[in-house]
Structure 1
Amino acid sequence: MATIKDVAKMAGVSTTTVSHVINKTRFVAEETQQLVLDAIKQLNYSPSAVARSLKVNTTKSIGMIVTTSEAPYFAEIIHAVEEHCYRQGYSLFLCNTQNNAEKIKNHLDMLAQKRVDGVLVMCSEYTTDSLDLLSNFASLPMVVMDWGPDNEQTDLILDHSFDGGYLATRHLIEHGHTKIGLITGDLSKTTAKTRYDGFVKAMHDANLTVNPDWIMEGHFEPEDGYECMNKILVQGTLPTAVFCCNDVMALGAISAINEKGLSVPQDISIIGYDNIHASRFYSPPLTTIHQSKTRLGIMALHLLLQRINGLAHERTRIEMHPELVSRKSVRKLSPHEANK
């Protein structure tokens, strides 16, 4: 493998001049630059990333800590971040934690040892232990995107989930549905609770009764949508529509409905939340509430790069506004059907 000395010898210059050409740290005459570049190409020379990082005090790498990369919503954010990192010339180290404080600490230690330029943390909620751990790495440029309660230690994503829950429910009501069920995530989580509150407000505003027998709590997984929908389907009276608080639970709910010999939306309409990429390929294509995962990932990374370059220091709030995406899983009822 060629060394910087080999390049210098072939180009007839010093190793210092080769370094200046590679790192662009000092003016070098165009003719001399070309000799160095030709030698680099001919020898297939690649500078040591470790040695170079020690010299210029940057590794052009970023760490990303997430609860899980399996959930489609987070996977799409991760994809946007990785793509934008690549375009900016950065490498990305991805760490899954399952919100385990020990794993968070180990990952942060590892990322610090690798001398990453900054860390992007994306979790759905934070425990006190994990927040304390993050504060121990305050010297490392970091963007902490927090869906949980407002916390002075973290940046904040304001995703307007209440508005999204209201919007989803209102869409069902405008399509003639008065008997509406809800499959929600863990109501101890902020995201699930605010979407639930939006649902309740829309029902009350329309003077509709919230039937507690049609309110089911899961954990934002497809299995939860399936099991919760089955609990609704065994009841004597069924809702004509169900709001599922994320798209993967909607998928589970649709599967349960189909297994009972019923169909969506003819028998029961379904609306989801998040507008994950796969939702347009559900059968039928899923009506859902859109949140821009690409925009969120890029905004978070842009803020981190500003912090790395010393251009941003204050705690930041990023806002996302939900939008309705109408597809085929919600049917408009006639007045006769609505009053049955």
Structure 2
Amino acid sequence: MKDIARIAQVSTSTVSLVINNAPNVSPAMRSKIMAVVNDLNYKPSALARSLKVKETRTIGMLVTTSDNPFFAEVVANVERYCNRLNYNLILCNTDDDPRRLEKNIQTLIQKQVDGLLLMCTESHFQANPLNLTLPCVIMDWWPTELNADKILENAEFGGYLATKTLIEHHHQKIGIITGSLKKPLAQNRLKGFKQALTEYNLPLNEKWVIESHFDFNGGIWGMEQLLSQKERPTAVFCCSDTIALGAYQALWRAGLSVPQDMSIIGYDNIALAQYLSPPLTTIHQPKNRLAEMAVDTLLQRIKNADKNYRTLMLEPSLVLRESIAKVR
């Protein structure tokens, strides 16, 4: 900047005003200084600026795994929205390792991120309580209590809506494959399932309630448990699309087909769901809205560090495709 000021024959403060787009500089002076800036190929130091204003315009995001398609799509939406707002995103995958989690947090703190987005994808992950002073927003779920805003989805209504859809197709023998019931969202989707059965006066067969995991293998294992029973359900609510994909695989291995032999409804509406054969009926989660709400909430928290933490709720909706047969 001193070189620019010397060549342009102005003060360094005037150069600073031009580089920071201050309004109180004449067009002629701005043009003169920018010509020198371009000749010298000068690039302002983002690090120096961040130290001065105590803001890096960088957000850290911690996920325990990112191979689940739902969370991969959420991360993509977060990155896209951060880019629109001229923020950078640093993504850290802890790979279900508490030591790696702590290391990643220290790395993000050293990188001077302005805040953290936390998203847990594995129910068996056990993190140590975190003493974080950074502004945080929890997306979907986190295994420990934190002083943070939360963005959740109305999982109980989503479970109710999925089950109600099967009942409206005249199914009365309905099973469910849940994720780990250590996770509140799995518990809430199961509550919604039970609520719909009660509302329509249908019995709950406990043998058809299979606790598994929110992944492909969880769907395979869960459907195999249902198929091994003497009396089988005619329809199954899979509490995630990844579970549904595994269920499709288990049915195919058994020589059965969807929906002729078993009707399936999933949850999440991942992009892959529409390309299955047949396309999967599912409960849609607004992933782009989840991403935008999380980022907006975090930026508000960064600017306003009050203690009134909020819990915001997203409403799921039905996407009807061809994986449910109507019972005569």
Q: TM-score, normalised by structure 2?
A: 0.91
Partner of 1:302: 296
The one-letter amino acid of 1:81's match is V
Q: 1:81 is matched with which residue: 78, 82, 89? A: 78
AA paired with 2:253?
E
State which of 186, 195, 205 in structure 1 corresponds to 2:199: 205
Name the residue aligned to 1:166.
160
Distance in 2 between the 1:81 and 1:8 partners? 40
Does residue 19 (structure 1) correspond to residue 13 (structure 2)? The answer is no
Q: Which residue of 2 aligns with 1:50?
A: 47
Amino acid at match of 1:258: W
Structure 2 stretches of 5 or more lacking a match? Answer: none
Residues 1:283 and 2:277 aligned together: yes
**Displacement of 1:284 after TM fit?**
1.0
Alpha-carbon distance between aligned partners in 2 of 1:124 and 1:155, rounded to the nearest angstrom: 18
What residue identity is the alignment partner of 2:107? M
1:298/1:131 CA distance change after superposition, 3 Å: farther
Higher deviation after alignment, 142-151 or 166-175: 142-151
Q: 1:91 aligned to 88, 91, 105, which one?
A: 88
Q: Alignment partner of 1:181: what SS?
A: strand
Q: Structure 1: how far apart are the matches of 2:39 and 2:126?
A: 54
Describe the shift of the 1:49–1:158 C-alpha distance in structure 2 as closer, same or farther (beyond 3 A): closer
Amino acid at match of 1:232: L
1:260 to 242, 246, 254: 254
| CA distance 1:303–1:125, shift in 2 (3 Å) | farther
Aligned position for 2:214: 220
Residue number in structure 1 paired with 2:177: 183
| CA apart distance, 1:118 | 1.6
The alignment status of 1:30 with 2:24, answered yes or no, reads no
**Residue matched to 1:337:** none
CA shift at 1:41, angstroms?
2.5
2:65–2:121 CA contact under 8 A, matched in 1? no
CA distance in 2, matches of 1:272, 1:74: 15
Displacement of 1:126 in angstroms is 9.0
Separation in 2, partners of 1:301, 1:13 = 41
Q: Deviations over 1:288-325 (max 9, x none)?
A: 11111110110111111112223765201111112111
- Superposed structure 1 runs of 4+ greater than 6 Å apart: 125-129
Q: Distance in 1 between matches of 2:259 and 2:203?
A: 22
Q: Tell me if the contact between 1:125 and 1:147 (Cα under 8 Å) persists in the aligned partners.
A: no
Query: Pick from 61, 71, 83: which aligns with 1:64?
Result: 61
Q: Aligned partners of 1:99, 1:35: CA distance in 2, in Å?
A: 55
Partner-residue secondary structure (3-state), 1:51: helix
Is the contact made by 1:149 and 1:190 (CA closer than 8 Å) also made in structure 2? no
Partner of 2:314: 320
Give yes or no for contact 1:146–1:155 (8 Å, CA) kept in 2. Answer: no
Identity of aligned residues (%): 48
* Equivalence for 1:241: 235
Following superposition, the deviation at residue 22 of structure 1 comes to: 1.2
* CA distance in 2: counterparts of 1:240 and 1:113, whole angstroms: 54
How many Å apart are 1:265 and its aligned residue? 0.8
Residue in 1 that maps onto 2:132: 137
Output the CA distance in 2 between the equivalents of 1:128 and 1:270: 28
- Give the conservation status (yes or no) of the 8 Å contact 1:148–1:190: no
Cα deviation, 1:131-184, whole Å, max 9, x if unaligned, reads 731xx222x222234536995733233422111111111110110111111111
What do the CA deviations read for 1:177-236 (whole angstroms, capped 9, x no partner)? 111111111112211111112112222222222223322221101111012212222333
Give the alignment's TM-score, normalised by structure 1: 0.88
**Counterpart contact for 2:65–2:95, Cα < 8 Å:** yes
* Structure-1 separation of matches of 2:271 and 2:321: 13
8 Å Cα contact 1:269/1:329 also seen in 2 = yes
Instruction: Give me the whole-angstrom Cα distance separating, in 1, the residues matched to 2:128 and 2:241.
Output: 29
In structure 2, how many angstroms separate the alpha carbons of the residues matched to 1:127 and 1:231?
21
For residue 93 of structure 1, report the CA deviation from its aligned partner: 0.7
Q: Mark the CA change 1:149 to 1:121 in structure 2 (over 3 Å): closer, same or farther.
A: closer
> Once the 2 structures are TM-superposed, how far is the Cα of residue 69 of structure 1 from its aligned partner?
1.9
Q: Distance in 2 between matches of 1:60 and 1:277?
A: 30
Deviation of residue 26 (structure 1)?
7.1
Aligned to 2:108: 111
For structure 1, the residue ranges without an aligned partner over 5 or more in a row are: 335-340
AA aligned opposite 2:40: L
**Cα RMSD, aligned residues only:** 2.5
